Amino acid sequence: MSSASYGSRPDLLPRFMVRSTVNPAGSDRPIGWGSANDAITLLSEAESNEIESATVRKFPRSSRGEIVWEEVNAALILERGQVDRESLTAAIASHANVSGRLVIFWDSRVVPTVSIDKALAIGHLAEILDSFPEFKVLAVEDATLFECTFDDELTVCRIIGS
């Protein structure tokens, strides 16, 4: 796996999400990475692409990968504002069910997409926000997308037909 390939840098994930493992003798890498517990799943590239194609890629995007919200039907946008731990927590609580899973797409493809229990993610939002300035969170059961940008902006929208 090259350094630029999907999921090649799980070590960049927030520490609560991953643990290091010792690979079997003869492996090309002595140390590997796995999810820290059963509430977290590191998605394969195929799984990530499938979910992203059915949701995030439905929206027009800039060359930087951010969604171009001015080109999105305004009726789908639920909320816009500045992002910090409190605003992201409030937005998730307001627009997503109490239970369920969140899928986090990072700004970089070398960091694997993560599926995580919503309650666990909410308890660690400060670490998530500190790890990457740009990411998208999908509330799977609610078909709701939360985009956090490098400019500290949060946009929440519904995904139709997902």
pLDDT greater than 60 at residue 91: yes
pLDDT of residue 2: 46
pLDDT greater than 50 at residue 137: yes
Prediction pTM value: 0.86
Contacts of 132 (CB under 8 A, 6+ apart): 106, 107, 108, 111
Cα distance between residue 149 and residue 101, in whole Å: 21
| Cβ-contact 67, 57 below 8 angstroms | no
How much is the average pLDDT of 57-65?
Answer: 88
Structure tokens at 147: 């985009």
Cα distance between residue 104 and residue 88, in whole Å: 13
**Mean confidence (pLDDT) of the chain:** 86
How much is the average pLDDT of 88-109?
Answer: 89
Of 152, 158, 12, nearest to 85 by C-alpha is 152
The string of pLDDT tens digits covering residues 16-53 is 888 766 656 666 655 555 565 778 999 999 999 999 99
pLDDT of residue 24: 64
Instruction: Out of 20-29, 52-61, 62-71, 130-139, pick the least confident.
Output: 20-29
pLDDT of residue 35: 63
The string of pLDDT tens digits covering residues 99-115 is 889 999 998 999 999 99
